[in-house]
A = this chain, B = another copy of it.
């Protein structure tokens, strides 16, 4: 295992220390022990708090999206493991200003179990909690079983919409409804070329041949839908886009936000080559790109591969996308 770390025991603590030292104006640990980080301005008065969380190893997910008009707090687990109930509960209390808290995270059973328990504890304290689940990976289950789909990079759009809606002063029910509607319009699919290694395990999450790729593989190495010889960038992009677009039908003149996300070890130039093809495909179909994001927004440590996400826009989503955000780890403009 080739990683620049000190030990698997101290990794998460040192990572959080590094991040909070790097951006002291944004990130605040709830206490030195807890793996729970909130926005320094928390709780923000008259605003629904947005909490997220999940396993480590996906930076800038999850805590990297904390900031002005985005997420208010994140509970941080071990690499690829759910955070604890007590960390989620601590985040919830720290970001609650009386208007309630929205939980927004990916569709993984460990996270759901723990966040649900934290919500119950919060309810006992009189903090209403609603939950939105990202389940954008079209490769992980057929359309008819959408509730079984994994949440991957497309959750970025959920954060943006939830954060902007909450910042406008919407109620908890309104933030949930708008975020659910946004997540409903997001589809993602990816391809993996190489595995990553969970530090505590010390061995790669899966094996794959030197000339192979796996389409639809999950960001923790979960099985995809097709393994085969490595194809060209255009062939891969065509395959991903076909499945993404057919899953949520589009009409001519529809508008989308596009995310081409690198999983960790993919050279930026490859991401732009894929974006170039995405633009060609959308242009041919008469679908307009309203905004695009190309870079590492949700990684799997040093996994090689990428995903493409489309977010089908309405006028309200465009307006919410346009709201400025200030999160130090976020690439480029929003």
Nearest CB in chain B: distance from A140 CB, A: 21
Nearest CB in chain B: distance from A14 CB, A: 5
* Contact present for B233 and A273 (CB under 8 Å): no
Which residues from chain B contact A19 at a C-beta distance below 8 Å?
272
A268 and B59 contacting across the interface, CB-CB below 8 Å: yes
**Min CB–CB distance A35 → chain B (angstroms):** 13
User: Which chain B residues lie closer than 8 Å to A3 at the CB level?
Assistant: 267, 270
User: Would you call B4 and A270 a contact (CB within 8 A)?
Assistant: yes
Partner of A21, one of B191, B276, B331: B276
A:283-320 near B, CB below 8 Å? 292, 294-296, 299, 301-302, 304, 306
Q: With an 8 A cutoff between CB atoms, is A170 at the interface?
A: no
B269 touches A11 (CB 8 A): yes
A117 to B5, CA, bound (A): 45
Instruction: Tell me if B273 and A6 are in contact (CB < 8 A).
Output: yes
A232 and B6 in contact, given A56-B269, A265-B265, A265-B304 (Cβ under 8 angstroms): yes
Residue of B nearest to A79 (CB): B269
Chain A residues with a Cβ closer than 8 Å to the other chain, count: 59
A236 (CB) vs chain B CBs: closest residue: B4
**Interface membership of chain A positions 33-76, coded 1 if the CB is closer than 8 angstroms to chain B and 0 otherwise:** 00000000000000000000000110110000000000000000
A275 at the interface (CB under 8 A from B): yes
Q: Is A210 engaged at the interface, CB distance under 8 Å to the other chain?
A: yes
Q: Is A193 an interface residue (CB 8 A)?
A: yes
C-alpha spacing A18/B277, complex, angstroms: 8
Is the CB–CB distance between A299 and B267 below 8 Å? yes
Question: In the complex, which residues 245-293 of chain A have their Cβ closer than 8 Å to any Cβ of chain B?
Answer: 264-276, 279, 292
Contact status A233-B270, CB under 8 Å = no
Selected from B21, B193, B236, the residue in CB contact (under 8 A) with A2 is: B193
Among the listed B22, B267, B276, B333, which residue makes an inter-chain contact with A301, where contact means beta carbons less than 8 Å apart? B267
Q: Does A329 contact B (CB under 8 A)?
A: yes
Output the least CB separation between A300 and chain B (Å).
9
A334–B286 alpha-carbon span in the complex (Å): 37
User: Which B residues are CB-close (under 8 A) to A5?
Assistant: 232-233, 270, 273
